[in-house]
Amino acid sequence: MDGAPRKLQYWRLYLLILVLGIGGSFQYGIQVSVIASPAAHVQSFVNHTWMERYGGPVDDSTNQLIWSFIVAVLCLGAWAGAVHSGSLPVRYGRKKALLFNNVVAIVAALLMLFSRMARSFEMILLGRFLYGYNVGLGLSVHLMYLGESSPKKLRGFLTLTCSIFIGFGKVMGQIIGIKEIMGTEEMWPYLLAVSGIPAILQFVTLLFLPEAPRYLYIDKGDAEGCRNALQWLWQEDNLKLELDDMQKERERTQGERAKTVKDVLSSRCVRWQLLTLAIPCAGVQFCGINALYFYAFDIFRESGVPEDQMHYLAIGIGATELITVTLCSVLIDRAGRKKLMGYGYLLMGITMSVLTTMLSFKDLNPSIPYVNIALIFSVICIYGLGPSGVSMALPADLFLQAWRPSAYVVSGTINWLSMFLIGMLFGYVVDGLGQFCFLIFVAYSIFSGVFMIYFVPETKGKTMVEIMEDFNKLNYKNRGIDVERSTTDLSTSF
């Protein structure tokens, strides 16, 4: 089956993508973007609550500290969720872990919804932490579920849909957060609680969808359940090649326990996979995209954009990222992960170097701020085409089944702690270096790009066993151990 019939054949798989995306990545995108809109209203609520309790207004520094923690606690909750993504999906399965995760999101939404009625800003703090937990666990399990349900030829595209839903969530959060819709004094509790809606939708629809096929076969030994799940998702009867690949992977890990984070960090047999995971995952935060968003509004102001129009420009930036990530999903299985991420980081570093130079001369010519706006959108386009999306596909591509849950713990920990670190320290870096803060990110972006291009094998179109054989040439390079011998040691800790 080719062309349109082939696409229609996978309609149930696309339904799974929609369900996972709406209840997982889409929620994350909303949580990242909606919190900025009601900032003034929430701070006013904190002050009013403080006055009712203590008979006087909260001082500005305390109010700002409470607000900063409301924003930052999402990362701490996400880290806790990422840590549990190594155990819950292994013990209960991918589907049950997501069902539990949706209950967490619904509880968080109820806390947000009734916080004003209860006169408690602590409920907002707890709700944000639970939202973070939901995001940290949900993103990892979402990617596991998709990676273990996708045909080899579509694995990159389908995994990248996670980034598409994140971008879509960001745009939707920015849209519903404008003052004409939900960004008002009366509506802010409902705005913060809106993520409960996709959680309810995912919970209900997941009840009718199968468990991840690779989990059923490799982890549970349920060959018949795996075959039924694949037939339901793919609408194919000839599944021999896929089942043979799973059988080979199962034989390599037969009798082995699921690997721990300590195993991932200490085992020689996954050393290069770990480097390939860690450097780009940290790069998503350290590539300078957050600094770019920070400076974007200053550059817009210098170009004469009215303050009340800034929110609409933010929607434009989010839409640009969404469009380019969507384009990346089309290119990833053609160009490959290595090229998109490696050259993406290199181009980001070069473009930000030019932007740093232009920011230094912004007062020399009135047209320079407009050049800087073009450079900002260029960096966002490059980010969306490569690093933003491809990094999310790496754990599913680089690790066998026994290692994969702990690999998601490592990638989630790197991502969320890096985000927390950037959030806590970035203001001080900007105060000290100004626009030259980009040079730090330029150095990391170029380093990441060179590492991906020159030291990492391509994973495009390969089975998990073939990918492991390629990495073993690096893992055992100095030992002179042949590839066949080393692949038998994939489950051994050194």
Overall domain count for the chain:
2
Angstrom distance (rounded) from CA 391 to CA 75: 18
Last residue of a domain, one of 209, 238, 269: 209
Mean pLDDT of 107-118: 95
Q: Are 132 and 80 in contact (CB under 8 A)?
A: yes
pLDDT of residue 7: 52
- Can you state the angle between helices 387-398 and 337-360, rounded to 10 degrees? 150
Kindly give the residue spans of alpha helices, DSSP state H, lying in 56-120: 60-84, 88-92, 94-114
Q: Which residues, in sequence order, are CB contacts of 257 under 8 Å at separation 6+?
A: 402
| Other Cβ atoms within 10 Å of 100 Cβ, number | 16
pLDDT surpassing 80 at residue 336 = no
Question: Which of the pair, 333 or 35, is modelled with greater confidence?
Answer: 35
Mean pLDDT of 380-388: 85
Same domain, 160 and 297: no
Window from 41-55, 223-237, 245-259, 307-321 with minimum mean pLDDT: 245-259
Same domain, 402 and 342: yes
Query: In degrees to the nearest 10, what's the CA dihedral of 193, 195, 196, 197?
Result: 120
Q: Which CATH number fits the domain that encloses residue 44?
A: 1.20.1250.20
Q: Which two tokens stand for residue 281?
A: 């995952």
Rounded mean pLDDT of the chain?
A: 82
pLDDT band, very low/low/confident/very high, at 133 (cuts 50, 70, 90): very high
Closest CA to 408 of 73, 26, 78, 95: 78
Mean pLDDT of 92-97: 94
pLDDT surpassing 60 at residue 493 = no
Closest CA to 387 of 354, 409, 415: 415
Mean pLDDT of 18-33: 83
pLDDT surpassing 50 at residue 312 = yes
Taking only the tens place, the pLDDT of each residue in 472-484 is 888 887 554 444 4
Last residue of a domain, one of 191, 209, 227: 209
Mean pLDDT of 414-432: 76
Whether residue 237 lies inside any domain: the answer is no
Mean pLDDT of 9-33: 83
Question: Which of the pair, 341 or 483, is modelled with greater confidence?
Answer: 341
Whether residue 89 lies inside any domain: the answer is yes
Whether residue 418 lies inside any domain: the answer is yes
Same domain, 61 and 165: yes
Question: Which of the pair, 475 or 208, is modelled with greater confidence?
Answer: 208
User: Residue 323 burial by CB count (10 A; 0-12/13-18/19+): exposed, middle or buried?
Assistant: middle
Question: What's this model's pTM, rounded to 2 decimal places?
Answer: 0.82
Same domain, 193 and 335: no
pLDDT of residue 492: 37
Taking only the tens place, the pLDDT of each residue in 164-188 is 888 888 889 888 988 888 888 899 9
Question: Which of the pair, 9 or 93, is modelled with greater confidence?
Answer: 93
Same domain, 193 and 291: no
Whether residue 234 lies inside any domain: the answer is no
Q: Are 234 and 151 in contact (CB under 8 A)?
A: yes
Whether residue 239 lies inside any domain: the answer is no
Same domain, 471 and 332: yes
Domain enclosing residue 31, as ranges: 1-209
Window from 194-203, 276-285, 386-395, 434-443 with minimum mean pLDDT: 386-395
Whether residue 294 lies inside any domain: the answer is yes
pLDDT surpassing 90 at residue 24 = no
Same domain, 182 and 275: no
Same domain, 326 and 190: no
pLDDT surpassing 60 at residue 364 = yes
The sign of the dihedral angle between the CA atoms of 264, 266, 268, 273 is: positive
Whether residue 236 lies inside any domain: the answer is no
Same domain, 35 and 174: yes
Same domain, 315 and 399: yes
Same domain, 267 and 205: no
Closest CA to 34 of 224, 220, 172, 133: 172
Last residue of a domain, one of 168, 191, 209: 209
CA dist list (Å): 380 to 162, 292, 293, 298, 308: 18, 9, 9, 16, 23
Whether residue 247 lies inside any domain: the answer is no
| Other Cβ atoms within 10 Å of 454 Cβ, number | 9
Mean pLDDT of 456-467: 77
Alpha carbon 36 to its chain centroid, in Å, reads 19
pLDDT of residue 470: 85
Same domain, 179 and 307: no
Angstrom distance (rounded) from CA 379 to CA 303: 18
Angstrom distance (rounded) from CA 80 to CA 76: 6
